[in-house]
Amino acid sequence: MTISYFCFGYVAWIFFSWFYRYLATVRGLNLKSSAFYSMLPFLAMAAACPLGGFISDRLIKVRGARFGRCGVAVVGMGLAAIFIAFGSQVDNTRLASVFLAGGAGALYLSQSSFWSVTAGIAGPSSGSVSGFMNMGAQIGGFVTASLTPVIGDRFGWTAAFLVAAAFCAVGAVAWLTVNPEASLVESRDVLGAPLATRETIVAGSSKG
């Protein structure tokens, strides 16, 4: 999940850091148009984030946690890869902006899965586990702040967005290895002792 959230952070921070400049300097939009179209990814994120959580909760009731949590994350990040790869190569600037914004929205469909799964598998340690996972996203943001303009200058901004699409694909694949029903917390009985320990104590008492 940390690997996937690294990929998530890498892509998300492209929109936070570089999308406006991309529209203005690479796509050639004027100030007013750049401001308008650079707003679209954030509107898409705001709409898709709660929508992803809603869909995930509904699917869990029908198909279980793996489909509801992991499936939504895989589909969201997979769609983001497609939208971003396609949008980066569309000649029409305004249409490209819409597709790229769609990629940002699709990316944020997966957002709820990250936090709900960490809370589910970590129990009382969810703060530590989710914090570690979130570190992955922050590292991804750090990397994209430096790497994306380098790729854009040397190979073109289409290549920079294709790299982002590849990270989305990696993040989607990483979710296939996640078991949302696993537990990182040792099971304990009502007396607070680990179950394995309690069973050993009980067995020993019976023998005595």
Q: How far apart are the first and last CA of the chain?
A: 47
Which tokens hold the place of 188? 């304990």
Of 179, 181, 176, 158, which is closest to residue 77 (Cα–Cα)?
176
Please count the helices (runs of H) and the strands (runs of E) in the chain.
Answer: 11, 0
Structure confidence at residue 55 as a pLDDT band (50, 70, 90): very high
* Mean pLDDT to the nearest integer, 51-58: 94
Q: What is the pLDDT of residue 198?
A: 36
Q: pLDDT of 41-51, one tens digit each?
A: 999 999 999 99
Tens of pLDDT, residue by residue over 157-178, are 999 999 999 999 999 999 999 9
- Binned at pLDDT 50, 70 and 90, residue 186 comes out as low
Distance (Å, whole) CA 93 – CA 5:
29
- For every residue of 93-150, DSSP letters joined together read HHHHHHHHHHHHHHHHHTHHHHHHHHHHHHGGGHHHHHHHHHHHHHHHHHHHHHHHHH
pLDDT value of position 126: 87
Integer Cα distance of 60 and 72 in angstroms: 10
The per-residue pLDDT for range 88-139, each reduced to its tens digit, is 999 898 899 999 999 999 999 999 999 999 988 888 888 899 999 999 999 9
Q: How far apart are CA 51 and CA 141, in angstroms?
A: 24
Q: Under a CB-based contact definition with an 8 Å cutoff, are residues 8 and 171 in contact?
A: yes
Q: What does the pLDDT read at residue 191?
A: 41
Q: How far apart are CA 188 and CA 186, in angstroms?
A: 6
Query: pLDDT grade, residue 200 (50/70/90)?
Result: very low
Cα-based distances in Å from 18 to 121, 164, 189: 35, 12, 52
- Average of per-residue pLDDT values in the chain: 87
